[in-house]
Structure 1
Amino acid sequence: MSVNIHVVFDFDGTLATTFVGGEMFRCCTSPNRVAELSGHFSAGEISLRQYQESVFDMVDETTFEMSKRAALHGCIRKRTTEVCELVWDSGGVVSVASAGLNFYIEPVLEKAGLDRIELHSGKVLSEPGERPPFRYDYPSYVKSCRGDWVTCKCEVINRLKNNYGGSEVIFVGDGLLGDACAAVNAADTVFATGKLLRYCEKSKIPAIEFGKDFGPLLRYVHAKTFITGAS
């Protein structure tokens, strides 16, 4: 029986080479206030969702204006398109599971010609021309999630497993919190860099390292789809 290969990417720092979300607010907010909120988050006094809403509500721009900046400056990691096309050609699904917000993720994917990727993230419901405070929605959050991390990445992975029997779901990430939870509790295979890679090494969780491009991931997916005859 063929095994479908699906890939779930984190966005900021993984699929995108930089923290695009941070670039949206760092230039337009008080550094001292952002640092103060970051300290509250690090101390566990507020959740990631609360931190994110607070910093974006300080930006004196509409989501339309921020979307334009995201499209201009956001860059996708090299070989992403090749990975996606190989997964799609073999009948698999490519998703982004992000703690970020749709208005800055979607323009980056669209610019790269990757708007076919399924996006699971927080959403801003305010009209594109409205200024903050924004109205937010979290369609990919579940109450059973261990933390208030905007999107339950484990749920995204497990849904793919349930919808496609006999599937292998690869998670690709760089951070802690939701990324680490997905790597430990849900993913069949983990590709990691940065903090997530160090966490996996320390915790003895099997993970394959990637660097400036997704060459290792591309080779892995190619080998898997070739072996199963899915391509």
Structure 2
Amino acid sequence: MLKITRSATAFQYAALGAGLYAPKKFTATFEGDKWLSVRARVTIDAEWEKAEFGYRVTRLQVDEVDGGEKITSEMVREIPVTTLLRKAALRAILRGPHRTPPVFRFSIDIPEEEVQRLVSEGPKPATLRLVSHFYTVASIVGLPPVEFVIKKLGLKPRTASHWIKLARERGFLKVIALSEVTRQEEAMEFEDDVAGPDLIENVGMEQVSGA
């Protein structure tokens, strides 16, 4: 089980560009073998850090469950807090058109057939928005953004680098990667006109679904 609790109020979200919105605070509760190697319930509180362009954990709570383990310092050290934060952020970040309030969808909620259709059209505006979307998502959760774009769009590295450059030059991408895992934000919003049903492809991580 992964349960995310976040505000339902639009002003409690930070606009990230590329049609993405980060809740300024959220709570994530994990339980079960899918998420944890320990038999316990783990709850984290996270807050958005604008300067770091990502989340930090502000509270970690470990609770016993029926039939679970006794809570010890050794058991707590086995909890992969950074990995759990990444998985929770992927579920917490939302996307949608710029309205008041925004109409949200999950952050990587784009079907493969839609991705492939846009890729086949070349670096047109909608495709460069898609590049910006995946690059920004990866930057937020601490994955290498260029590699993420390569995997999600099925591009060759040289093509991916060129399209990322075009997305930045044409104003779609406002995240500046000082390295592939160091992030910085420039505040500007763009409408993302690519949408579709829930589909989250496994890219070096588990799919972040609810149960």
Fold conserved (TM > 0.5)?
Answer: no
Compute the TM-score of the two structures, normalised by the length of structure 1: 0.30
**What is the TM-score of this pair, normalised by structure 2?**
0.32
Structure richer in helix, relative to its length: 1
